[in-house]
Amino acid sequence: QVQLVESGGGTVQTGGSLRLSCAASGRTFSTYGTGWFRQAPGKEREFVAAIIWSGDSTYYADSVKGRFTISRDNTKNTVYLQMNSLKPEDTAVYYCAAASRGSIRYPRYPRSYDFWGQGTQVTVSS
């Protein structure tokens, strides 16, 4: 069992930056793949970024590539999402998710993940 707690959300102006953190419980978290998803009001949850258990491979949605960076520190059981050059369309609730399969066979699909956090709100004002 893995419990995930996101933090770092808030309100920023267009062009600003935020760093989200996802703190995980459980001694085996270092073997889990991890992803970030987001959901805006009235829209479906969408993939943002993912990182495999070792950190050697990362995946990004086209809409955030070059602006967002996912990373992890397995010694701290924490995954990060650095978000730069934020746009109003990045406004959403951001969720952290963990996959028992460390290599995450289909990282862009929510069904690949077994555990989810409660989410943190990110609002980008124009």
DSSP secondary structure letters along 61-126? -TTTTTTEEEEEETTTTEEEEEE-S--GGG-EEEEEEEESSTT-SSTTSGGG-SEE---EEEEEE-
Q: Is pLDDT at 4 greater than 80 in this prediction?
A: yes
pLDDT surpassing 90 at residue 46: yes
List the end-to-end C-alpha distance of the chain, in Å, as a whole number: 40
Distance CA 95, CA 22 (A): 9
Residue-level pLDDT at 13: 98
For the cut 80, the answer to whether the pLDDT of residue 76 exceeds it is yes
Q: Which of 29, 25, 84 lies closest to 51, judged by CA?
A: 29
Task: Please report, for residues 42, 87, 89, the alpha-carbon distance to residue 70 in angstroms, rounded to integers and kept in the order given.
Answer: 26, 18, 19
pLDDT, residue 27, reads 74
Q: Minimal CA–CA distance to 110: which of 45, 54, 49, 58?
A: 45
* Cα 55 from Cα 102, distance rounded (Å): 10
pLDDT at residue 47 greater than cutoff 90 = yes
